[in-house]
């Protein structure tokens, strides 16, 4: 990618930089969002822009430009980089603070990066999670602090896991980079609703799932994992990804479940429909 946008200015990606006094760097005071561009179309763009604005509000700011202007900047980034497929990141930081603590004029950055392809075997064979007792700060906002998850990468690797599942010892929250769904033994599909990031993929999967099975946005107990029929996670990059082991123990029979498979297929079809309907 050759160009990024910083505070409305197109700059070369090589030279794109913020000063070291930015609160995002000094204190982790920053929010972001991330979505895919597929076939030149930013997928579910309005959902991501609305969530980004909400995250910005949680930080105590208002978006420094209108939604219309931000949207125009997204399309400018796509045009300038001649993007066919990519990941776009929107970032708002706490700005150059005089005392290193008080929020200042925020910096708004748009970056584009090549899409990281997923391991196909994770969809056909499933993958794993490790659990960890932790709740993200300001969980309704997409903050940039992923320190706990990054710190746990070696343990994650040791267990052949793709992500870390956060919980409070009783109920589940989300994984470090996805939302979680649990198909309970009674056949109800459940997903945590409190203290989680309102995932855009989660929202679309919930809509799709309603036509397929009974769905409940509710507290999901850590103990529900022990006799769960199926578990899957959802995220912008991973879509619907089946989880077949948690902390090294198999989920049900350790195979990809049929609901996870059906919802993944329907979600992929839903994405294709969105792309076909989008005005280029």
Ligand X SMILES: Cc1ncc(COP(=O)(O)O)c(C=O)c1O
Rounded Cα distance between 191 and 228, Å, is 12
Which H or E element spans position 240?
A: strand 239-246
Rounded Cα distance between 263 and 7, Å, is 39
Rounded Cα distance between 155 and 247, Å, is 10
For 119, the token pair is 């391991």
In the block, tokens 């202007």 appear at 69
Applying CB under 6 A, the site for ligand X has a residue count of 14
Examine residue 230 and tell whether it contacts ligand X (CB under 6 A): no
Piece of 71-79, 199-207, 249-257, 260-268 that binds ligand X (CB under 6 A)? 199-207
Piece of 62-70, 74-82, 126-134, 177-185 that binds ligand X (CB under 6 A)? 177-185
Of 22, 53, 174, 230, the one binding ligand X by CB under 6 A? 174
Piece of 16-24, 116-124, 196-204, 224-232 that binds ligand X (CB under 6 A)? 196-204
Q: What contacts 93, CB < 8 A, 6 or more positions away?
A: 18, 22, 23, 24, 25, 29, 30, 106, 107, 109
CB 254 within 8 A of CB 231: no
Helix axes 200-210, 258-277, angle to 10 degrees: 110
Q: How far is the CB of 206 from ligand X (least distance, A)?
A: 11
Judged by beta carbon, residue 235 or residue 260, the one nearer ligand X is: 235
**DSSP string over 68-87:** HHHHHHHHHHHHHTT-SSEE
Piece of 97-105, 181-189, 198-206, 217-225 that binds ligand X (CB under 6 A)? 198-206
Examine residue 197 and tell whether it contacts ligand X (CB under 6 A): yes
Q: Which of residues 236-255 bind ligand X (CB under 6 A)?
A: 236
Of 156, 178, 190, 191, the one binding ligand X by CB under 6 A? 178
Cite the beta strand spans of 81-203 per DSSP E: 86-93, 107-113, 127-133, 161-167, 172-175, 179-183, 189-191
Helix axes 67-80, 45-58, angle to 10 degrees: 120
Judged by beta carbon, residue 150 or residue 227, the one nearer ligand X is: 150
Judged by beta carbon, residue 71 or residue 203, the one nearer ligand X is: 203
Q: How far is the CB of 93 from ligand X (least distance, A)?
A: 17
Please count the helices (runs of H) and the strands (runs of E) in the chain: 8, 15
Of 55, 93, 156, 234, the one binding ligand X by CB under 6 A? 234
Judged by beta carbon, residue 5 or residue 197, the one nearer ligand X is: 197
Measured CA to CA in angstroms, residue 7 lies from 91, 195, 239 at distances of 10, 31, 31
Piece of 105-113, 193-201, 250-258, 259-267 that binds ligand X (CB under 6 A)? 193-201
Examine residue 179 and tell whether it contacts ligand X (CB under 6 A): yes
Examine residue 177 and tell whether it contacts ligand X (CB under 6 A): yes
Of 201, 220, 241, 266, the one binding ligand X by CB under 6 A? 201
Residues at the interface with ligand X (CB under 6 A): 136, 142, 174, 177-179, 197, 199-202, 234-236
């Amino acid at each position: 990618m050759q160009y990024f946008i910083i505070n409305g200015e197109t700059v070369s990606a090589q030279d794109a930089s913020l000063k070291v006094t930015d609160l995002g760097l000094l204190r982790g005071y920053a929010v972001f969002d991330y979505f895919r561009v597929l076939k030149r179309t930013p997928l579910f763009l309005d959902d991501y822009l609305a969530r980004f604005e909400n995250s910005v509000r949680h930080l105590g700011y208002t978006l420094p430009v209108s939604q219309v202007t931000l949207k125009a900047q997204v399309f400018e980034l796509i045009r300038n980089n001649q993007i066919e497929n990519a990941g776009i990141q929107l970032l708002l930081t706490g700005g150059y603070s005089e005392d290193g603590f008080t929020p200042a004029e925020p910096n708004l950055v748009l970056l584009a990066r090549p899409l990281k392809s997923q391991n196909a075997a994770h969809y056909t064979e499933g993958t794993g999670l490790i659990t960890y007792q932790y709740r993200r700060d300001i969980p309704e906002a997409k903050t940039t602090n992923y320190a706990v998850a990054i710190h746990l990468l070696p343990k994650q690797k040791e267990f052949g896991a793709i992500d870390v599942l956060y919980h409070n010892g009783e109920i589940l929250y989300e994984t470090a980079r996805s939302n979680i769904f649990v198909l309970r033994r009674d056949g109800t599909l459940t997903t945590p609703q409190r203290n989680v990031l309102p995932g855009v993929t989660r929202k679309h999967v919930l809509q799709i799932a309603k036509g397929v099975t009974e769905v409940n946005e509710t507290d999901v107990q850590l103990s529900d994992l022990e006799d769960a029929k199926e578990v899957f996670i959802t995220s912008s990059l991973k879509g619907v990804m089946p989880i077949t082991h948690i902390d090294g123990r198999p989920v049900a029979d350790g195979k990809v479940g049929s609901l996870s498979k059906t919802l993944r297929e329907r979600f992929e079809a839903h994405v294709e429909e969105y792309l076909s309907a989008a005005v280029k």
